[in-house]
Amino acid sequence: MARVTQGMLLQTMCQLCDFFASLRLCGGFLIYLLLLKTPDMNGLHLIAELHGDCRCEPRLLRSVDALRELCLAVCTVPGLTPVGQIFHQFGSDAEPAGATGAVILAESHLAVHTWPETNAVTLDLYVCNFSQDNSVAARAACGQLIAAFAPMRVERRDVERGTCSKAPAV
């Protein structure tokens, strides 16, 4: 017996939707709308570049320990669930030169990179919205990170991920 995958099922539903739509039946349009709202891979990806002389404590840009503490605190407060972490200190203990870190979340991940030499930070926070909408928690965490670094200028992009209107290629 052939195994039916979710992609195959979605493709078949899209074909049925096209069939109903060709018959000009209202049901075809409703099926199409339901397919657009399929929760597959839906998520929110927040990407930010913090420029212009971040006015935070210099330690936050230089110390891997300070960055780790901030990232874990920010991920815990809004209800995200840290399940793993890795952080790296650049430079040396005597002359730190920035840090990078990632927190693996049950909902996905947070990655932050600091450049103390330019007082800049980049951050990347992605949450999956499969079983529940984590967008509010992600936006709160991102806002707290931005506030902690206190940049003069922020370039932020909010990207809705995983929304597809057609069946995936099989």
Orientation of helix 26-36 relative to helix 6-22, angle to 10°: 150
In this structure, how many other beta carbons lie within 10 angstroms of the beta carbon of residue 134? 24
Q: Between these two residues, 4 and 84, which has the higher pLDDT value?
A: 84
In angstroms, the Cα distances linking 59 to 15, 71, 96, 97, 115 are 57, 14, 9, 11, 12
Q: Between these two residues, 3 and 84, which has the higher pLDDT value?
A: 84
pLDDT in tens, 38-64: 456 789 999 999 997 899 999 999 999
pLDDT at 79: 81
pLDDT bucket at 168, cuts 50 / 70 / 90? low
pLDDT bucket at 70, cuts 50 / 70 / 90? very high
Contact criterion met (CB below 8 Å) for 85 and 100: no
Q: Which stretches does DSSP call E strand in 31-152?
A: 43-51, 82-91, 96-105, 108-115, 120-128
Residues with catalytic function: 108, 113, 128
pLDDT bucket at 162, cuts 50 / 70 / 90? confident
CA distance 41 to 130: 6
Q: Between these two residues, 114 and 9, which has the higher pLDDT value?
A: 114
pLDDT at 95: 86
pLDDT at 11: 54
Average pLDDT over residues 61-86: 94
Average pLDDT, the chain: 81
pLDDT in tens, 23-32: 444 444 444 4
Q: What are phi and psi of 126, to 5 degrees?
A: -125, 135
Q: Is 133 a residue whose pLDDT tops 70?
A: yes
Query: Is CATH 3.60.90.10 what the domain over 43-160 is classified as, yes or no?
Result: yes
